Each structure stands twice: as C-alpha cells, then as structure tokens.
Amino acid sequence: MKNKCAKKGGFAPKTAHLVDICAKTAVFAQIFLLACSRPASHVPEGAVARDLRTGALLSDRQAAMADGFYGTLQEEGQFIAFVRYKPGAFQTTVVSAEGEQADSTSALCLRNDAFAGINGSYFNMKELTAVTLVKDDGFIVGQPTQIKPTRANGAVVLNPESVGFTACDTTDTFELDWEAITSGPILFDGEQTYSYGTEQPDYDSFFGKRHPRSLMGKDADGGVWMVVVDGRFPGEAEGMSIDELTALSRRLGLTEALNLDGGGSSTLWVLPEGVLNHPCDNRRFDHDGQRIVPNAIIVR
C-alpha cells in the first residue's frame, strides 16, 4: 500500500512542471499585452526625433513616452519640419507684436521663453498688422479686414491646458476663450474634412498651387502638432497644395488641422536647435530667410 501511495505521488513533478509552463505563459502574455498597449511614438517613418526640452535623441519607445519631440523629414522634393507635444505638459500661447514690435518668429519665441514656436496668421506686410482675428491674453488685438473668407475660416483656440481647432467665420470673437487666432483654410476639425476645388476664385494661385505651408493640428491621442513644409526650392523643397497638405496631415495621424500663413512667413523654431525649416524669404535654401511677422504661436 505504501508503494502504491508513492506511485500515486509520482505525478507531483509533472504538476509542478505544468505550473511552471503556465507561469511562463502568463509572463509572456503580460509582456505581449504591454507591448501591444504601449503608446505609439507618432514619429513619422524616416524621421529622427529629439526631445523638445533637452534636444536629446529619442528612440521610438522614448518618443512614445516623451512630453514633446521635434524632427525633420526629407522626402523626394519635400522637406518637412515638425513638433509634437502634449498640451497638458506645456503652455501654448499667442504672441502678438504688431507694427514696430513685429519681429522674426525665432525672436518672438526667444523673447517669450519658448521651447518651440510657429508663425501665425495672415497680416498686412506694409503695416505689420494682423488681417485676421487675434486674441492675446484675453484681449482682441487683431480684427478681420481684407481677407477672403476661405483664408480665415478656422481658428486655433487656446485655454490654459487645452488646444483646439474649429471652423469659424469672421464674426466669431471667442469671448469665452483665453486666446485665439483665426486662419485658414481649415483642413478638418474632427467632424468633417473640408475640400477646396477649382471653384475657388484663387484656386490656381493659392489652393491648387504648391507653396511653403505652415499648419497646426491634433492627433487622436491628443498630441498637438506644429508642421512646416518648405517650398519654392525646385528639387529640394517643392511645397504643397492645400490638397497635398491635407493628405500629409492625415499621414501624420491628425484628426484636426488648420493651415496658417505660409509662403515666406513659414517658420518652425525650437530651443536649442533654432530654425528647423528653410524659410524662403532670402531665396536661399538655408535657415536664415525668416520674414518679420506680427504674431506667432509658441509653446513654453
């Protein structure tokens, strides 16, 4: 009887082995779930990302965890610079500096202790004053003047810890919001995609023609983007039409996107690297051709 009991007890090592297999399987399952649930880095394919605060190189995993990153993407005939950040980790604000106070985007950023910044909306190049609504620190400092409705049919709307993008018209004043800047055209606002066909009066010169472009937007995870597409440098930076800019925004994963002032104004700046793109106002493919502007949107 004793031997029989011993034989019966012989299955214990097999049970332990089975438990060990189950434990290892559970560990592998947890690792798999962690890998699958890990947030996406959002770094465009072919781009190198750097931390927005320190400038340190980031892996995809590090970028996924970072509060913000920046980088550039070079494709055939296109040069794209970008910044992505979590709005709760930084403050986004409008900087208005009209007339004699106007300056380059980089100077406006440095003057206001920014980590990053992008040029703002359309303006009168002679007087250096806004021609779209600009609300800075609760005060309306820019009013719509002679700007076509489709050039100012959207807005970046800023509150202390949020950044939003919305369709609007020239009568909106955003009374309940801390800051706002109207621009356009709006590309999409989370609810619909806007299209601008050949029926637009200035389709051939603006909507359908390739230009340097600046935009801001937001992705599905709440990350805010600043993006500049260089242009007017054949073979190196062709620029984009509005349709091409919409396609780029979708490729970056944006669910909301608004076109800002472009052309010679298009500038994206970060600390400590400086101007990321190649502003074209000096007609050279370098980082020195910034235009003097009366407003910008900065991250600090």
Which DSSP state fits 204? I
Task: Determine, yes or no, domain membership for 216.
Answer: yes
Same domain, 52 and 18: no
Same domain, 23 and 165: no
Instruction: Please give the Cα distance from 146 to 129 (Å, whole number).
Output: 12
Same domain, 188 and 107: yes
Same domain, 117 and 223: yes
Which DSSP state fits 207? I
Which regions of the chain does DSSP assign to beta strands (E)?
48-51, 57-58, 68-75, 78-85, 92-96, 116-119, 123-124, 129-130, 134-136, 139-142, 154-159, 162-167, 179-183, 186-189, 213-219, 224-229, 254-259, 268-270, 274-275, 295-299
Same domain, 23 and 109: no
Residue 245 and residue 210 in contact, taking contact as beta carbons nearer than 8 Å: no
pLDDT tops 90 at residue 149: no
Ranking 8-17, 78-87, 242-251, 281-290 by mean pLDDT, the lowest is: 8-17
What pLDDT score was predicted for residue 35?
Answer: 47
Residue numbers of the domain that contains 92: 48-299
Task: Determine, yes or no, domain membership for 197.
Answer: yes
The pTM of the full predicted model, rounded to 2 decimals, is: 0.88
The token duo for 30 is 């947890």
Same domain, 59 and 23: no
Same domain, 90 and 29: no
Locus of tokens 């004043």: 173
Task: Determine, yes or no, domain membership for 43.
Answer: no
Same domain, 30 and 52: no
Q: What are the tens digits of pLDDT across the range 92-129?
A: 999 999 999 999 999 999 999 999 999 999 999 999 99
Same domain, 189 and 246: yes
Tally of domains in the chain: 2
Same domain, 10 and 159: no
The token duo for 115 is 């980590």
Task: Determine, yes or no, domain membership for 153.
Answer: yes
Task: Determine, yes or no, domain membership for 83.
Answer: yes
Task: Determine, yes or no, domain membership for 42.
Answer: no
Q: What are the tens digits of pLDDT across the range 151-193?
A: 899 999 999 889 999 999 888 999 999 999 999 999 999 889 9
Same domain, 6 and 139: no
Question: Coil, helix or strand for 40?
Answer: coil
Same domain, 286 and 229: yes
Q: What are the tens digits of pLDDT across the range 52-89?
A: 999 999 999 999 999 999 999 999 999 999 999 999 99
Mean residue pLDDT across the chain: 90
